[in-house]
Amino acid sequence: MTDDVEAAPSAPAAARHLAPGDVGLVAPRDFAHAAPFAFRGGQVLPGFNLRYETYGELNAARDNAIVICHALSGDHHCAGWHSPADRKPGWWNNLIGPGKAVDTRRFFVVCANVLGGCQGSTGPSSPNPATGRPYGAAFPPVTIPDMVRAQRLLLDHLGVAAVHAVIGGSMGGMLALQFAIEYPQLVRRVLAMATTGRESAQAIAFNEVGRQAIMQDPAWNRGDYALGEGPRVGLAIARMMAHITYLSDASMDRKFGRRKRRAAEAEASAFDVQFEVEGYLRHQGQSFINRFDANTYLYITRALDQFDLEESAGSLESAFAPVQAETLIVGFTSDWLFPPEQNRALALALLRAGKRATYAELATDLGHDSFLLESEELYALVRGFLDRPGTPTP
Amino acid sequence: MTDDVEAAPSAPAAARHLAPGDVGLVAPRDFAHAAPFAFRGGQVLPGFNLRYETYGELNAARDNAIVICHALSGDHHCAGWHSPADRKPGWWNNLIGPGKAVDTRRFFVVCANVLGGCQGSTGPSSPNPATGRPYGAAFPPVTIPDMVRAQRLLLDHLGVAAVHAVIGGSMGGMLALQFAIEYPQLVRRVLAMATTGRESAQAIAFNEVGRQAIMQDPAWNRGDYALGEGPRVGLAIARMMAHITYLSDASMDRKFGRRKRRAAEAEASAFDVQFEVEGYLRHQGQSFINRFDANTYLYITRALDQFDLEESAGSLESAFAPVQAETLIVGFTSDWLFPPEQNRALALALLRAGKRATYAELATDLGHDSFLLESEELYALVRGFLDRPGTPTP
């Protein structure tokens, strides 16, 4: 997902976190799981850390939790502000807060950086106790089910007895579906947006080009590099390319068109930035390398590519057989990375498997990242889905 | 365009060039223009070379020439075989030959490697007389109109009095349109496929990521590298990514889907090739760097990005005002790089400008590269357009 959400335009920087409807100042916490954790591939870590945030309070019945699952480049900071000086709030701040679609007056919202991530959770950039250096390519291959199992341990730790809903877009949608498959007794609702039961060859291809850009950068050094160093050039290229796939032709034309940089900003060579869209992409690449680890990018794109509900169970219907949750799948017309058909196919398979499922398709022109859209229509869908009377747990 | 056209499956290698309908063995020639050539940007070369091929014979009236214009990664070798041992014929061999849609029994076909290219025509990899080393980044910025003006000099050299048709796809379509604008007295028909009057922000963005991959490769060295060396890693990344944009989601799913490499071929690391599409893309990247120059890639993608008929004349209609040629524009439904709307817009602007123009849209699922399609429907369109009675020249 992109990181170019504009900050609220008018409020003074120091007061934005006081805006009504915002969860205000928040702080991440760490869940240190001190017991061995076996990955699906068979490798075992002696333990792991998940960095997470929560907003709202767990109720007495301990059944009002909402789990937010982030996308490839997202993190645990999905709402509120870490500091009054922050330029931007959490990445889903428009959706989550007191009185918002995910209402923190009613719900206990939990969001964790995924296992394998690089924003505080254990991943390839964490120190390998065997060497004292970052794990790098020695980190176990991580899968979407591994990420979900780690988050389940966090929920146990927090004392959550039932999850009112798991919500996620893109990779977050995959985690949400996997939650419903893996923990049918725990999860009452799943809201998965802009997602897929398995990526197309084209999506794998784009991920592969990104991985090649990283791995062919000499600074990758087979994954062995110090914190803060590594294949910055390759990672920026990977990010620039992926960023295009999160947008749409129409939204890029509206936002940049063929506008050129002002002459004052024009640089020396014919290959320096000439079009605004070029400067924007270069900025996206540069800001990404300051906040993201290249090995995590490799591991998580592999997890995305290998996620295949159909293959794992023989058919999508069989994969969904254990599901008890009510499911709402939301596709976006302009999403060409995980296009509407792939979203619709999930809802149809759930229905064929005899589950309670709905599909909603929103007409947007913002591409894959439409799930981050500020849209009353989307908010109303989310609100209605979270508010509807629960189905008695079997 | 892609270079994965399969060779004829059954004929023995040594005899394929004898297939009926093929132009057989052909040899490139060189046109050395020994007078100064001024680029649109103002820079002047003391002369230039264009490497080209011709098939068929120029008639007595010298008016049966057909000019074929190649795409970004194409060249002058568009039909026939250079050697009986060649694995593949020229890139448009399915369209051009005795009895084919572009019938070399009737027409004198001319195809030149563009100015700025790297397949024998003068470009950044040619020796700079001032230094004895390749021009590199000292080569003048080249534009589509520059390429067309150089090819006009070749046509004069060949004694061509009138061009029956200029035909091209993708960048070749831009050249074809520019030919009709620049030389209305010379060009009788234009057939432009899978093209645009100006690229969208998304197409510029993809080109920019490719350029960044090349220029951030330390071996680029600001364009200064020896022949056969240079930013091979960056160029391969650029090619892999661009290659995805030449195909379509549907064709990639049909060709590769999520098939994995056989275990016997599986390699050591989790980041080695796992899916067939990954191996295919890596092969595309690797084979490209053995035949293409990175600086030419920079120069030609810039020429593509800067081509803007609307900007140059105030409107598309004004740009087309000089055109006398009859024009057929062909768009392909699955082309998401230069999508059907952009092709249709060209025909509509020609019609609004009072020109003879037609638009045909072919339903294909092969993406941008559909113009290379083996399609009787396309052949019939081309044949019909070339055969229709000519309009008297004004």
Nearest to A271 among B199, B277, B302 (CB): B302
Q: Residue B286 carries which side chain, given as an amino acid letter?
A: Q
Question: Residue B216: its chain A contacts at CB < 8 A?
Answer: 233, 236-237
Put simply, whether B205 touches A (Cβ < 8 Å) is yes
**pLDDT level of residue B8 (50, 70, 90 thresholds):** very low
Residue A103 falls in the annotated catalytic set: no
Q: Which two tokens stand for residue B376?
A: 């009787």
Q: What mean pLDDT value characterizes chain B?
A: 93
Question: For residue A275, what pLDDT is reported?
Answer: 94
If you write DSSP's letter for every residue of B97-166 in order, what string do you get? ETTSSEETTT-EEEEEPPTT-SSSSSSTTSBPTTTSSB-GGGSPP--HHHHHHHHHHHHHHTT---EEEE
Nearest to B213 among A211, A237, A258 (CB): A237
Rg (CA), chain A: 21
Question: Please, which residues 85-144 of chain A have a Cβ atom closer than 8 Å to chain B?
Answer: 137, 141
Residue A222 has pLDDT above 80, yes or no: yes
Coil, helix or strand at residue B57 = coil
Residue B3 has pLDDT above 70, yes or no: no
Render pLDDT for A277-311 as a digit per residue (tens, 0 to 9): 999 999 999 999 999 999 999 999 999 999 999 99
CB spacing of B208 vs A275 below 8 angstroms:
yes
The CATH number of domain A200-306 is 3.20.20.150? no
How far away is chain B from the Cα of A280, in angstroms, using its nearest Cα?
9
Residue B342 has pLDDT above 90, yes or no: yes
Residue A146: its H or E element: helix A144-158
Residue A126 falls in the annotated catalytic set: no
Question: For residue B152, what pLDDT is reported?
Answer: 98
Render pLDDT for A115-139 as a digit per residue (tens, 0 to 9): 999 999 999 999 998 899 999 999 9
Residue A107 has pLDDT above 90, yes or no: yes
Place of tokens 């399969």: B6
**pLDDT level of residue A393 (50, 70, 90 thresholds):** low
How far away is chain A from the Cα of B238, in angstroms, using its nearest Cα?
9
**pLDDT level of residue B170 (50, 70, 90 thresholds):** very high
Q: What mean pLDDT value characterizes chain A?
A: 93
User: How large is the average pLDDT for residues B29-51?
Assistant: 97
Render pLDDT for A229-241 as a digit per residue (tens, 0 to 9): 999 999 999 999 9
CB spacing of B141 vs A270 below 8 angstroms:
yes
**pLDDT level of residue B273 (50, 70, 90 thresholds):** confident
Q: Where are the domains of chain B?
A: 202-306
Contact A231, A225 (CB under 8 A): yes
Q: pTM score, two decimals?
A: 0.94
CB spacing of A237 vs B212 below 8 angstroms:
yes
Nearest to B201 among A141, A202, A256 (CB): A256
Residue A9 has pLDDT above 60, yes or no: no
Residue A6 has pLDDT above 50, yes or no: no
Q: What is the CATH number of domain B202-306?
A: 1.10.1740.110
Question: For residue B13, what pLDDT is reported?
Answer: 57
Predicted ipTM?
A: 0.93
User: How large is the average pLDDT for residues A332-351?
Assistant: 98
Put simply, whether B278 touches A (Cβ < 8 Å) is yes
